[in-house]
A and B are shown apart, each in its own frame.
Chain A
Amino acid sequence: MIRRLIAACLILLTCALAAQAQERTIQDVLQEHRAEIEKSSRKTIGPAIDAIANSGLSAAQTVLETWQNKGMWQRKADGLFFYAAPGAGGTYTLFDFDSGAEVGAVDKGDLDQLKPNSGIRAMIGAALVQFQLNDPNPARRRDALLAIQRDGEESHLAPLRASIEGETDPAIKALKETTERLLTIRFDPDEASRVAAIEGFRGALSLDARAALNPLVTTKIVYAEGLPDGANIKRALKPGKDIPVSDAFALMVAAGAATPPPSVAERKAALEAHIVDGKVGGRPVADLNTQESRDSAYAALAEAGQAPAYDVNFSEETVVKGAPFAEVYDEPSKAVTDAAEATLGSINRAVGFNQFLDLSLDGLSLASIYFLAAIGLAITFGVMGVINMAHGEFIMMGAYTGYVVQQIVPDYTVSIILAIPLAFAVTFAAGVAMERLIIRWLYNRPLETLLATFGVSIALQQLAKNIFGTQARPLTSPGWLDGALTFNDVVSISYIRIAIFVLALIFLGVFLFIMKKTRLGLETRAVTQNPRMAASMGINPDKVNMLTFGLGSGIAGIAGVAIGLYAKVTSELGSDYIVQSFMTVVVGGVGNIWGTLLGAGLIGFLQKGIEWFNPSNTLAAQTYMIIFIIIFIQFRPKGIIALKGRAAGD
């Protein structure tokens, strides 16, 4: 019976508790911890915040956020908590946390605002993290994680770990795991879990991983005498070999293990201070124009007690010799630093590989630019044998055409689409005019063609300066070409470069098509190989030459639009590319488009490669590039793909 009664009571109690729990509001939780909340002290507030956070009530997050933003008010009359909005006439409208219902307007005098201090606000913030991490909106979860990555705290660790389990979105789950490892590395007191977290980054490429690991392996160089036993020593250093003697000496001085002798400047100052009747230490001032004589004068001063003693035979080397120096990790745990070093090694290998990929992409895009700049020349110089120094200015004309079109047509996409055929038309016309007026009188006089076209080049360049001024003009790419294709934190390539690459491929195709498949190509090859024979077969060499030259120039114009998108449009745009363009054609092998392609590839990749060794210095890279080409020509004077035998014209 008693057992039954007890059982019944228990059931009742349970039911009552359950009922109570069901009906329990956030107000109840707040009221339970009313004293702590009112006291608002960092030392005692913890249980209150935890109780709210762990209450499992939907209003908990609102309460915490309101509280943190100083938006929670307490009604003096009954001690209940509300959030409030200012109403009319110094009154505040109160709202219930649980239902969100309006409770009524109350005079400000009957309310107390809860003003948590910054310490408490931080605690509330930490408690809020779990809500953000479990927010139903994935974007907010991601924002919270990124915020933690930027600005993590030890307190974030527990809610973060707790939230991983229930995460459904795989991308965010991965992000959470990464973030958890980052935080573990930084804050977890347990060495083993830190090591595990570090090793979790093996082979990772992200900047965050490197940023988390790099601080673990920072070291400083110290004078190792009296170093605490627990110091995490990376390696012992030998002065003169691993560290400069002067640095080692300075460390000893800083540690109080050595006294620096008076420096050259100090000794000089001492000598200057003790000039008496044109003499110092018994030596005439006029003699003190060598360090030896100054040293001996100073020795005399020191002997007389007028200056600190100075041992002439002093050498920092003898002092530091045999003294212990070490490179010491800032991180005390050896297990952690070892793991970090190993992981960083693997990351660096991965990064190095990816940097190589990135560099290759850079090289590819530079090669495309050179190829674009050179492909017109491959026609006029490579096929026709006409050396056109104004080719660079045709590129410039193309770029300015693009600029002018953009001034008239504001839509960037439309203007680029318009600019390409227009640039072709403008430079085609210029090329034909030049061929008719100048070049055709100079066939077979290549050096004079070079000089005459050079004359055209300086005239065009100055003309462009007169019309457009000397400052750079922008040629803006359409919006869809902005940004970059990003593969990971290391490898990316901008869309403009991809577009230039594609354009280069298209040009290659167009060139091959025209030369191999069209009547013009056939006639061009016939005329360049044997003009008399071609003429006798009914081909008009004048017309063919004119059209071919126009074609080469027109392509230069289109290349100009592409290059203008990538570089600033100035009157010197063309001359920046002309030498490299000729080099591309010559290195590749004159008269062969595949040679030009290889030449552009060689020059582009090589220049990027050289820049990689000395990243800050493009000028040096270009210098070495040109020297390389000069040497290359030694071994393959006719370029990579050389025409052999009688056809080569020797």
Chain B
Amino acid sequence: MSGAGTLLEVSGISVTFDGFRAINNLSFNIGHAELRAIIGPNGAGKTTFMDIVTGKTKPDEGKVLWGDMSRNLIGMNEAKIARAGIGRKFQRPTVFEDQSVFENLLMAVKNDRNPLKVLFFRPKFKDFAKVEELAAEIGLSDQLERRSGELSHGQKQWLEIGMLLAQDPKLLLVDEPAAGMTLGEREHTTDILKEAAKTRAVVVVEHDMDFVRRLDCKVTVLHEGSVLAEGSLDHVTKNQDVIDVYLGR
């Protein structure tokens, strides 16, 4: 059902690692400006799902269709998929710690990624403006010249989200953004994600139910590599299957 409202359509993908079925006939859709949370117990295939969408893992079967043109993403490499408009944030904050916040953001700002173009690239006024704007959004305006390695854990998470936003993606895949954050930091993170979801699709993978509740969005429950339930958080938490999965074992 690749209607006008669908940005990403994942249909019937499966992947096996050494006999273990990590993803089993999974189908999933998301619209253009939607916030979606994916929850599920350990080993449910959440991270593998992201790996497949971003091109890190090749599925054994199935299709991943992208955008209004319904381009198949399978077979494209990570960089190409990223340039097509899918940004990803890893579980662990991965920013370039050896480089300043400014350099990190500038690297992410949408510009030509061709090596030669990059070699002769010198930031223009609009690039500075964009970096300033992003820094303001993630609350790091006064940290621009600091090395990102010196930032706190939460600041790094924000920086990484900022780098994602700088790419100007149509779809954001965020893996456990709240892990290891203080309560205040979590609230700030929620705000950033909600704000981002106004103009683009955001998929958040999270364990923490409170955080998911705060996001206040549609929830997809994964279990053993396929969708177990979908709907509002209240709806899915009442689902007997979901209760079994979370409590039954």
Contact = CB atoms under 8 A, between A and B. Distances in A.
Interface residues on A, range: under 10
B17 interface: yes
Interface in A615-650: 644-647, 650
B125 interface: no
A255 to B, nearest CB: 70
Nearest to A647: B18
Can you list the 9 inter-chain pairs with the closest CB atoms, starting with the nearest?
A: A645-B17, A644-B18, A645-B18, A644-B17, A646-B17, A645-B20, A647-B18, A645-B22, A650-B56
A334 B18 CA distance: 68
Contacts of B22: 645
5 contacts: A644-B18, A645-B18, A645-B20, A647-B18, A650-B56
Interface residues of B, number: 5
Contacts of B17: 644-647
Contacts of B18: 644-645, 647
* B interface majority secondary structure: strand
B153 to A, nearest CB: 20
Interface of A: 644-647, 650
Interface of B: 17-18, 20, 22, 56
A1 to B, nearest CB: 117
B94 to A, nearest CB: 15
A184 B102 CA distance: 96
Contacts of A646: 17
Most chain B CB within 10 A, of A644, A645, A646, is at: A645
A647 B19 CA distance: 13
A257 to B, nearest CB: 69
Contacts of A644: 17-18
Nearest to B16: A645
Contacts of A647: 17-18
A646 B48 CA distance: 10
Given A645-B22, A646-B17, 8 more contacts: A644-B17, A644-B18, A645-B17, A645-B18, A645-B20, A647-B17, A647-B18, A650-B56
Contacts of A645: 17-18, 20, 22
Nearest to A643: B18
B183 to A, nearest CB: 28
A295 to B, nearest CB: 56
A644 B20 CA distance: 11
A644 B18 CA distance: 6
A650 B20 CA distance: 16
B223 to A, nearest CB: 18
Nearest to B56: A650
A91 B18 CA distance: 101
Nearest to A645: B17
A329 B18 CA distance: 66
A650 B17 CA distance: 12
Contacts of A650: 56
Contacts of B20: 645
B24 to A, nearest CB: 15
Nearest to A648: B17
A643 to B, nearest CB: 8
A42 to B, nearest CB: 90
Contacts of B56: 650
Nearest to A650: B56
A647 B56 CA distance: 15
A638 to B, nearest CB: 13
A650 B48 CA distance: 12
Nearest to B22: A645
A442 to B, nearest CB: 20
Most chain A CB within 10 A, of B18, B22, B56, is at: B18
A644 B22 CA distance: 13
A650 B57 CA distance: 10
B54 to A, nearest CB: 13
A645 B51 CA distance: 12
A171 B22 CA distance: 69
B47 to A, nearest CB: 10
A646 B15 CA distance: 12
A228 to B, nearest CB: 75
B28 to A, nearest CB: 21
